[in-house]
Amino acid sequence: MSKPVSNPQQTGANQQWGGRFAEGPSAIMQAINASVAFDAKMWRQDIRGSLAHAAMLSHVGIISAEDEAAIRQGLDAIAAQIEAGAFEWSEALEDVHMNIEARLTERIGEAGKRLHTARSRNDQVATDFRLWVRDAMDGLAAQQLEVIRILARRAEEHADTIMPGYTHLQPAQPTTFGHHLLAYAEMLWRDRGRMLDARARLNECPLGAAAMCGTGFPIDRQMTAAALGFDQPARNSLDAVGSRDFALEFLAACAICATHLSRLAEEIVIWTNPAFGFVSLPDNLTTGSSIMPQKRNPDAAELVRGKTGRVTGALVGLLTVVKGLAMTYAKDLQEDKEGVFDAAETLTLCLAASAAMLRDLRPNAERMAAAAGAGFSTATDLADWLVRELRMPFRDAHHVTGRLVARAEALGLDLAGLSLAEMQAVEPRIHEGIFGVLTASASVASRRSHGGTAPENVRAMAREWRERIRCGE
Ligand code: ARG
């Protein structure tokens, strides 16, 4: 008499892999093992991957065309059900992959059970996750471009708006608000470049690596790779299922971008402080205080700054997960997703909030100009004048200027307020011409060197940005 085949349904063992198991997982095993609560987010990618896999299996004759048609209809129906919020996810089925596969088999029977031929959840999850991250990269890169577009537009508007430039957050040299904004355009442009570079390396298809060593079935990996929009199949099956550096690169690109937005947010916090008063935000981008009626808080900026911690945390978290893993797949890798999902969602929000603030912030040109002239900010211009007009070596000019600043400070004046006689007491060769370089507007207008702060440079650069953005689309 042949031994009866044990039925996992009767023993309570997992329907998808429970053949050798006499009993199902304990509650704690199920709780620590299940990922469906978060990986259900990849259902679209999972169905897309399964459709491509089934089409390929049928194309090479591993499953019949009828089975493939049944799988396709079944998966389409499941997709509609999930979309409508009518799909019941089961923790007992662990993850998105087994939930969908089990439901497919429930719907279409035998054909559903053939879908997993020449495939493992290891290559399946690696494929789904790459597809998800790739979509996130595309969305974020588009948002980055939108922020750059706003920066360029506002920079053009404020090419002549003089503001103080800082080093050490101390008055250094006058600059313009436009030039300042274009500095962020450069940073965001590189952020977008990092996203797109990472995308290019990500875009290889793990599907067909199966559990880790490939398969004996005559699959066509070029076909599935092309169907899923990948440039090529991943070359090494072990690497395909065991590596997550595509996610690490994504997180690094997110963390650097979030860090740039955080710096901008910090500046908005500073600029909106009434002691500075450089910029104001509209009511709809600020909040009030429940106790202090006068308050207007830049919470959106503070949160962009604060949320950066989560994004950086996700990068450090995944680096830590991966660092000790022997090749190839280990369940630790299931921990790759939540951080990535959270980082992507957080950065999406931060980019949107930054775009809104940049679009609607109102610079106060008078306040900025007044501050730009203060703090002896044209001292470098004075030193440069001594070099140009008196052929003084720069080190000596620096020293003479330092003495003039000290003199002005002692008299409670700014540099332009010093009389010619006072100046000549320090350096007798100084003449009237010096007063032409001591204003903030003369200072910025003079800085026409490549990449410098002069309004005409900023206007030309803003125009270049418009062109670059058009080509980037
Ligand atoms: N839920 C799993 C993950 O996200 C899918 C892969 C499971 N593979 C396995 N051999 N148990 O990583």
DSSP state of 60: T
Tokens coding 256 = 């650097």
Please name every residue paired with 175 in a beta bridge, in sequence order, or none if there are none: 163
Residue nearest ligand 1's atom 7 by CA: 121
Task: Establish whether residue 42 lines the binding site of ligand 1, counting it when its CB lies within 6 angstroms of any ligand atom.
Answer: no
Instruction: Kindly tell me if the per-residue pLDDT of 55 is higher than 80.
Output: yes
Task: Establish whether residue 123 lines the binding site of ligand 1, counting it when its CB lies within 6 angstroms of any ligand atom.
Answer: no
CB 437 within 8 A of CB 381: yes
Task: Establish whether residue 39 lines the binding site of ligand 1, counting it when its CB lies within 6 angstroms of any ligand atom.
Answer: yes
pLDDT number for residue 106 = 98
Of the residues 331, 336, 338, 340, which should be mutated to test ligand 1's pocket, given the most ligand atoms within 8 Å of the CB? 331
Of the residues 125, 128, 341, which should be mutated to test ligand 1's pocket, given the most ligand atoms within 8 Å of the CB? 125
HSE (CB half, 13 Å, CA atoms) of 447? 21
125 Cα–ligand 1 center, Å: 7
Q: To the nearest whole percent, how much of the chain has pLDDT over 70?
A: 98
For 170-204, how does the pLDDT look when each residue is reduced to its tens digit (9 = 90+)?
999 999 999 999 999 999 999 999 999 999 999 99
Q: How confident is the model at residue 8 (pLDDT cuts 50, 70, 90)?
A: low
DSSP-derived 3-state class of residue 343: helix
For 430-443, how does the pLDDT look when each residue is reduced to its tens digit (9 = 90+)?
999 999 999 999 99
Residue nearest ligand 1's atom 12 by CA: 334
- Cα 385 from Cα 431, distance rounded (Å): 11
Q: Which of 343, 337, 344 is closest to 125 using CA atoms?
A: 337
CB 117 within 8 A of CB 57: yes
- Cα 302 from Cα 192, distance rounded (Å): 23
Q: To the nearest whole percent, how much of the chain has pLDDT over 90?
A: 91
- Nearest-10 crossing angle of helices 96-108, 121-157: 120
For 72-89, how does the pLDDT look when each residue is reduced to its tens digit (9 = 90+)?
999 999 999 999 999 999
Task: Establish whether residue 130 lines the binding site of ligand 1, counting it when its CB lies within 6 angstroms of any ligand atom.
Answer: no
- Cα 379 from Cα 443, distance rounded (Å): 10
pLDDT number for residue 122 = 98
For 326-366, how does the pLDDT look when each residue is reduced to its tens digit (9 = 90+)?
999 999 999 999 999 999 999 999 999 999 999 999 999 99
Residues labelled as active-site residues? 168, 289
Q: Which of 134, 364, 155, 330 is closest to 249 using CA atoms?
A: 134
- Cα 137 from Cα 313, distance rounded (Å): 19
Task: Establish whether residue 125 lines the binding site of ligand 1, counting it when its CB lies within 6 angstroms of any ligand atom.
Answer: yes
Q: Which of 17-21, 184-188, 450-454 has the lowest mean pLDDT?
A: 17-21
Kindly give the number of the ligand 1 atom that is closest to the alpha carbon of 331: 12
Instruction: Kindly tell me if the per-residue pLDDT of 4 is higher than 60.
Output: no
Task: Establish whether residue 121 lines the binding site of ligand 1, counting it when its CB lies within 6 angstroms of any ligand atom.
Answer: yes
439 Cα–ligand 1 center, Å: 66
Task: Establish whether residue 312 lines the binding site of ligand 1, counting it when its CB lies within 6 angstroms of any ligand atom.
Answer: no
Task: Establish whether residue 35 lines the binding site of ligand 1, counting it when its CB lies within 6 angstroms of any ligand atom.
Answer: yes
219 Cα–ligand 1 center, Å: 22
Of the residues 99, 121, 243, 328, which should be mutated to test ligand 1's pocket, given the most ligand atoms within 8 Å of the CB? 121
CB 280 within 8 A of CB 362: yes
Of the residues 33, 122, 132, which should be mutated to test ligand 1's pocket, given the most ligand atoms within 8 Å of the CB? 122
Q: What's the rounded mean pLDDT across residues 388-394?
A: 97
97 Cα–ligand 1 center, Å: 9
Q: Which of 98-102, 208-212, 372-376 has the lowest mean pLDDT?
A: 372-376
CB 98 within 8 A of CB 8: no
334 Cα–ligand 1 center, Å: 6
pLDDT number for residue 77 = 98
HSE (CB half, 13 Å, CA atoms) of 197? 13
Q: What's the rounded mean pLDDT across residues 23-47?
A: 96
For 246-275, how does the pLDDT look when each residue is reduced to its tens digit (9 = 90+)?
999 999 999 999 999 999 999 999 999 999
For 296-331, how does the pLDDT look when each residue is reduced to its tens digit (9 = 90+)?
899 999 999 999 999 999 999 999 999 999 999 999
pLDDT number for residue 7 = 57
pLDDT number for residue 250 = 99
304 Cα–ligand 1 center, Å: 33
96 Cα–ligand 1 center, Å: 10
Residue nearest ligand 1's atom 10 by CA: 122
CB 225 within 8 A of CB 205: yes
pLDDT number for residue 275 = 96
Name the average pLDDT for the chain.
Answer: 95
Task: Establish whether residue 95 lines the binding site of ligand 1, counting it when its CB lies within 6 angstroms of any ligand atom.
Answer: yes
DSSP state of 290: S
- Cα 428 from Cα 304, distance rounded (Å): 53
- Nearest-10 crossing angle of helices 121-157, 43-59: 130
Q: Which residues contact 109 (CB under 8 A, 6 or more apart)?
A: none
Q: What's the rounded mean pLDDT across residues 116-131?
A: 98
Segment holding 50, helix H or strand E: helix 43-59
- Cα 238 from Cα 210, distance rounded (Å): 9
DSSP-derived 3-state class of residue 177: helix
- Cα 278 from Cα 363, distance rounded (Å): 6
Kindly give the number of the ligand 1 atom that is closest to the alpha carbon of 94: 1
The neighbour count for residue 91, using CB atoms within 10 Å, is: 15
How do beta strands 279-280 and 232-233 pair?
unpaired
Tokens coding 385 = 């004048």
DSSP state of 3: P
